[in-house]
Structure 1
Amino acid sequence: MARRYYNLPPLTTLAAFEAAARHLSFKNAAQELSVTPGAVSHQIKALEAELGVSLFRRVHRAVELTEEAEQLYETVASAFAKISQRLQSVRERNASDVVTVGSTSAVASLWLSQSVVRFWQEYPDITVNQVVVDRSFRSVPELDLYIRYGQETGGRFEQVELYRDCLVPVGNKDMADTLTGCSLAELARQRLIHLESEDRTWTSWRDWFQQLGYDGPIANGIRVNNYAIALQVAQDGAGLALGWQRLIRPLLKTRALIPIGPTVLSAPHRFHAVCPREDGISEGAKLLRDWLVKEVKSQTD
């Protein structure tokens, strides 16, 4: 039987595996690939049969990667990312330098967009495209770099620290006048605005209270899936948001939101600029990353 030139399994099986491993979900992988979950499952079984190993452990309503699959995913994802970047550079070789940066909607609207404008004013020949991603950044392979709270898992990324934020309850002026100086137990009884995100690294109200030594009951409050909405609800006086002081600095300066102290907690994680290793990052992306690091440092000093 004729051997394939690179001795690779069919690319459709590798594509299905990469998407399922990245999402840890056959259903979400199927949606991305515009096929049925059954088709993804069929491709995974075909790949497992060719390799002679199990790649996924089926658990309740989810899947987990086996040890062999973890190693395979790092290799396949890295290869796909390099192919994507090379194709993008081929598409754009006759255009000006283009960088695509990703962030959450909150980071984009409250900080990054203004920084990108300042970067463009200094480097007008570099075009910076922004992508808002309120889910795992690893599901958007066309990004040259992205801003992430916490660190990305896996060894194929370079992660440059930007800053550590501080967390404090915030509300409008009326709520601040009423609650400033109150105890943690009293704060916990207020209408809290809970952020529900796919990214579990974001600090929640419960995390905040526990870090400060309070383990009592916490009000259910209201729930939103977007931080910008949480901030708007807080400005409208409908509840208390967990404020990231540096991130929401523009709202604090205008007093649209007011810290309800005196309790402030340093965030458990830092914000990072995440990009491929040096051999996979474009000169434009490297310039933007280093410029952001320098700007953040100058604002801190």
Structure 2
Amino acid sequence: MSRRHYNLPPLTTLSAFEAAARHLSFKNAAEELSVTPGAVSHQIKALEGDLDTTLFQRKHRGVDLTEDGKALYEALSSSFSRISKVLASIRDRKSGGKVTVGSTIAVAALWLSPAVIRFWREMPEVNVDQISQDRPFRDRPDVDFFIRYGQDADPSLSHTPLFRDHLIPVASPEVADRLAGASLEDLAAERLIHLDSEDRSWTTWPEWFRQLGYGGQVPIESRVNSYSVALQLARKGAGLALGWRRLILPMLQSGKLVPIGPHHVPAPNQFYLVGRPDDELSDSARALKAWIIQEVQEGSV
């Protein structure tokens, strides 16, 4: 008796295989699927048994795909992409044109939310959901695209460059006035507010000093896990924050934060719009993406 019309193995085994093949890691696939690595390994063994072939070459520090594994991954990847595109189109029609965009809390507050408001004035029929979090967007299939500093490790995601920022020390007006023209040694002796982020792509104070050729000690006395909190502490005179000039431009223009010259460096990475390829996005998502890119090019954000 045929088990199914298409004679497919259980879809859970195919889903586990696709994630493990995309990451080349059972551990990362397990994190994405919210299961244990053992569960992923069990599903893949079941699939290999069903197909009577080996799909992965197990190595000491990871896995590689066999020829059969590569062929199956290519078929699943293209099929899942087509399914995703159809689902996005259906959801777009049913939701009245909903788009979901993600960013860090600071990016949302400082320039994404104002950009979305301007977008709504032009296209009020599109509903935009914003997801703000200071951790990577690994397990959010509901997000159409997100704003990220540096490229994501997932090679299947599309990356659209937005801009490269400059890194400058910033503080309250009183502290900045006291430190006008300060040397790197003077700055290192101040209370530096360090961002302790799960996303390791963000430039840190020690990296900033090294880029400027400073080889002395950079003490870590104050840590926060939110860039918004770091900026708030700097505004209150509690220390120096590492400012992303374009990102915090509204706070610089209002005088709430003041740059401390003359030291600044270009950010090692760019900001990107990261997400599904354009041909997998809904019309509404493509419209918002184009709007954000235009706003960046015109200098509105």
TM-score computed with the length of structure 1 as normaliser: 0.83
2:297 is matched with 297
CA RMSD of aligned residues (A): 3.3
Letter in 2 for 1:52: T
1:228 Cα deviation (Å)?
0.8
Offset from partner CA, 1:105-160 (integer Å, 9 cap, x none): 11111110010000010111111111124222342122222212122345533322
Counterparts in 2 of 1:38 and 1:55: CA distance versus 1, 3 Å: same
- Which residue number corresponds to residue 64 of structure 2? 66
Q: Does the aligned pair in 1 maintain the 2:170–2:176 contact within 8 Å?
A: yes
Do the aligned partners of residues 245 and 99 (structure 1) sit closer, same or farther apart at CA in structure 2, a change above 3 Å counting? same
Give the equivalent residue in structure 2 for 1:158: 158
* SS at structure 2 position matched to 1:93: helix
Confirm or deny: 8 A CA contact 1:170 1:259 kept in the other structure: yes
The equivalent of 2:197 in structure 1 is 197
Q: Are 1:281 and 2:281 an aligned pair?
A: yes
| Counterpart residue identity of residue 224, structure 1 | V
Of 19-28 and 233-242, deviating more is 19-28
| d(CA) in 1 for partners of 2:42, 2:10 | 13
Other structure's SS at 1:15 match: helix
Whether the 8 Å contact between 2:173 and 2:258 is mirrored in structure 1 is yes
SS of corresponding position for 2:299: helix
Task: Write out aligned runs for 1:135-146 (5 A).
Answer: 135-146=135-146
Cα contact 2:17–2:44 (8 A) shared by 1: yes
Q: 1:72 to 1:112 in 2, by over 3 A?
A: farther
Summarize the alignment of residues 208-287 of structure 1 with structure 2, pairs less than 5 Å apart: 208-287=208-287
The 2-side partners of 1:70 and 1:174 are apart by 61
What is the CA deviation profile of residues 178-231 of structure 1, one whole-angstrom value per residue up to 9, with x for unaligned ones? 222111122122221111222222111122111111122111121111111111
How far is the alpha carbon of 1:264 from its aligned partner?
1.2
| Percent identical | 49
Gaps of 5+ in 1: none
Q: Separation in 1 of the partners of 2:209 and 2:127?
A: 42
Q: Which moved more, 1:109-118 or 1:22-31?
A: 22-31
C-alpha distance 55-147 of structure 1, shift in aligned 2 (>3 A): farther
1:29 and 2:27 equivalent?
A: no
Cα distance in 2 between the residues matched to 1:73 and 1:212: 45
SS of residue in 1 equivalent to 2:162 = strand
Structure 1 or 2, whichever has the larger Rg, is 2
CA distance in 2, matches of 1:19, 1:129: 26
Give the counterpart letter for 1:198 in structure 2. Answer: E
> Aligned partners of 1:135 and 1:76: how far apart in 2?
29
Amino acid at match of 1:115: A
Q: 2:242 is matched by which residue type in structure 1? A: L
